[in-house]
Structure 1
């Protein structure tokens, strides 16, 4: 597909899937317009890159639909210079959107092959402010804590205490919570003055977050 066609598809995605719903941040909309999602997707499904749907990326994992990526990004109110932890690198697309917004991103992926693939894609597209690690997301990235914000793109059954500990005071974490066999809810967790508040945002469906060491 020609480069111009990809640009047109991204513009349509922004207008039809994001702006027409409740995504209001001009910075988030611009990032979604600029980051080339098709580069983060296997060639066999690239033609669906800007459809409003999750897509398979291999290893029984998926890339979230564009609306969910934009919605989760908007929840943390990203600003240039923010230090953001992402749990569940997957294809690297969410990390690229955050980097495009000027965030310094630390992202953890349980599956080494996906971590390496995301590293290669991000390097190829020159997203330099993204650090990728293959590891157990339940542990977070303690040596780089605290973080201004945390985005979790896989669902634990309960919010991991380590991630709450690594959130800066005044910070926000957006995370899907619940079993894959029951209803999951996307939650926003806010830490302020040592107090933790949690609000449910919407029902969602994410792959499970798995608590194990990298093999």
Structure 2
């Protein structure tokens, strides 16, 4: 397989047409080798417009997001070199690798210990040293961070949820710096929207619902109540 040609086709045929026009993002996608973060069994699918399942595959929500979704999130956040980033859902480490190229520091949380180690190994092989993978339940860690019992070393300039939630938890918003941005895919299938929240003051946030997509759930975040009559 010609990986460079496949990468070029991914960028030009999937990502650029999906309104990802930031040249810095497009150049980064050409540099960070996505195929090195894809499980060996699915390496031929590295550049296909689809979600890719990740080991240990006991939970269908463990996957790499489609390339165009990752690229659009990266463009929306406009991460800067001096900024500190928190990611929930490390997966194979690919999004953390992209973020690390643009940020000063990345902390990424992964609930599955096997997958967390895979992400660490992938980042190390890629020569990325400013991204730290922590094993833990992102939803629980956030609650502990807010209470002060688990220092995530916040606040953060950027927070990324690499998966979907029913709603953005207030605990996440409290970890944003003023001027900080949070990206999450919010809603319930079949209607989900990529949502960008900017903290514009101590107790003020601006929310933009940028574009429609669907993504697997992040584990253990609250779900809306189901009523029966």
Normalising by structure 1, we get a TM-score of: 0.90
* CA distance in structure 1 between the aligned counterparts of 2:67 and 2:104, rounded to whole angstroms: 19
* Structure 1 pair 11–135 and aligned structure 2 pair: CA distance change class (3 A): same
Moved more, 67-76 or 181-190: 181-190
* CA distance in structure 2 between the aligned counterparts of 1:185 and 1:39, rounded to whole angstroms: 29
CA contact (8 A) 1:103 1:129 kept: yes
CA shift at 1:101, angstroms?
A: 2.3
Matched residue SS, 2:182: strand
**Which whole-Å deviations, capped at 9, do the CAs of 1:161-213 have from their partners, x for residues lacking one?**
2210111100110101123x54222111110112012121222222212228x
Partner of 2:8: 11
CA shift at 1:19, angstroms?
A: 2.1
RMSD, aligned CA: 1.6
Partner of 2:83: 82
CA contact (8 A) 2:163 2:217 kept: yes
CA contact (8 A) 1:28 1:101 kept: no
Larger Rg computed on CA atoms: 2
Partner of 1:210: 219
CA contact (8 A) 2:116 2:133 kept: yes
* CA distance in structure 1 between the aligned counterparts of 2:155 and 2:165, rounded to whole angstroms: 21
CA contact (8 A) 1:27 1:101 kept: no
1:169 maps onto 2:178 in alignment: yes
**Which whole-Å deviations, capped at 9, do the CAs of 1:104-151 have from their partners, x for residues lacking one?**
111001111111110111111111110111112123364311111111
Partner of 1:70: 71
CA contact (8 A) 2:87 2:160 kept: yes
Counterparts of 1:1-215 in structure 2, within 5 Å, are 1=1, 5-58=2-55, 59=57, 60=60, 61-138=62-139, 139-140=141-142, 142-179=151-188, 181-194=189-202, 195-211=204-220
Normalising by structure 2, we get a TM-score of: 0.85
CA contact (8 A) 2:84 2:103 kept: no
CA contact (8 A) 1:78 1:103 kept: no
User: Gapped runs of 5+ residues in structure 2?
Assistant: 146-150, 222-229
Count residues in correspondence.
208
CA contact (8 A) 1:40 1:121 kept: yes
* CA distance in structure 1 between the aligned counterparts of 2:19 and 2:99, rounded to whole angstroms: 19
